[in-house]
Amino acid sequence: MDRSNLLSPGEFDYLFRFWMDGSLDSIHSQGCALPGVRGLDRVASGFRPQTLLQQFTVAEVSAALLAIAQIDSRSAALLVIKHGYQVPIEDCARALACSASSAQGLLLMAQALLTRELHAH
Amino acid sequence: MHTDFMHTDSMHTDFRTKIGVGDRTLARLTEEMKFLGISTRTVVIEDREITSRNEFIRLVVDLYVNRWWEGAVELLPISTEELEFISFCCSSECKSAWMGAVSAGAAPTLHRLIDDALRDYFCRQQAIARNLDTRLRYVEERLKAGDIQSVRKS
């Protein structure tokens, strides 16, 4: 995998925060935006410049998650719970009945899956 | 065995109690330390960095006391030679209120404080785990069904 494509944990949080919030859909689709931002419904458009995240649309993130859910639904759900609902990894670990470091490992794998899926299209 | 130290002047009281817990709580505490991986990494709980078992206990007690005492009881800063103890400080007014609450059975005694705080912590964590497990299963099932809108906030 090309590591230059990896998103940082902060970027995942950012990506999911806006993706999660369905009430922003009209803003996403209008793209009331920073001047010069292209791709009207990019996840981050209109908020602050995050060039990496402006590569992806809400629909693309949704499609990537659904694709992951077909092969590994636990990973897809973990991404939503951790980054979308902003649940601390220790609490995720309790729900998964594993140690905090194992949960961190699962999350890293899930993030890699998502990144690969996002860049595949 | 707890050894408590209490210093009182006209304005306030200092308490000091040795960190010690019952066998059952100790077993769960050991499990929790393993779960959090406190000996191998820095764990952040409530915006505070925890690197040792005693720091963890101090934090849990602090959160517990502050939940029912609203800041009236203050945990004193840890000093290196006092790693085995937890020190508290409160006003004499607060102390009499606390003792009153203890007599009425509404607050734990100093002897029971650490045990109570830890048991309360474990109960809360169990509730969080149950709640999140349900949420995780729901999200998993919805995503598998291709229903993305149910997991997003509208």
Chain B residue numbers touching A92 (CB-CB < 8 A): 132, 136
Q: How far, in Å, CA of B33 to CA of B30, rounded? A: 5
Q: For residue B144, list chain A residues with Cβ-Cβ distance below 8 A.
A: 69-70, 73
Q: The whole model's pTM is what?
A: 0.74
Indicate yes or no: CB of A80 within 8 angstroms of CB of B37: no
Q: How far apart are CA A41 and CA A47, in angstroms?
A: 12
Q: pLDDT tens for residues B48-87?
A: 888 888 888 888 888 888 777 766 666 666 555 555 677 7
Per DSSP, helices labelled H in A2-88 are 9-20, 25-30, 58-71, 73-79
**Is the distance from CB of A45 to CB of A51 less than 8 angstroms?**
no
Query: A43 is written with which tokens?
Result: 């996840």
Q: Identify the residue among B48, B59, B132, B138 best suited for mutation to test binding to A, counting A beta carbons within 10 A and taking the highest.
A: B132
Nearest-angstrom CA–CA distance, B106 and B109: 10
- A72 torsion bin: left (phi>0), alpha (psi -120 to 50), beta (else): beta
Highest mean pLDDT, choosing among A43-52, B43-52, B101-110, B133-142: B133-142
Give how far B37 is from chain A: nearest CA, Å.
7
Interface pTM, i.e. ipTM:
0.79
Given B37, B128, B139, which is nearest A94 (Cβ)?
A: B128
Distance between CA atoms of residues B82 and B77, nearest Å: 10
Q: How far apart are CA B115 and CA A107, in angstroms?
A: 33
- B88: enclosing H helix or E strand: strand B85-91
Q: What is the DSSP letter of A85?
A: S
Kindly report, residue by residue over A78-102, the tens digit of the pLDDT.
999 999 999 999 899 999 999 988 9
Q: What angle do CA A61, A63, A68 make, to 5 degrees?
A: 95
B-chain CB neighbours of A85 within 8 Å are: 135
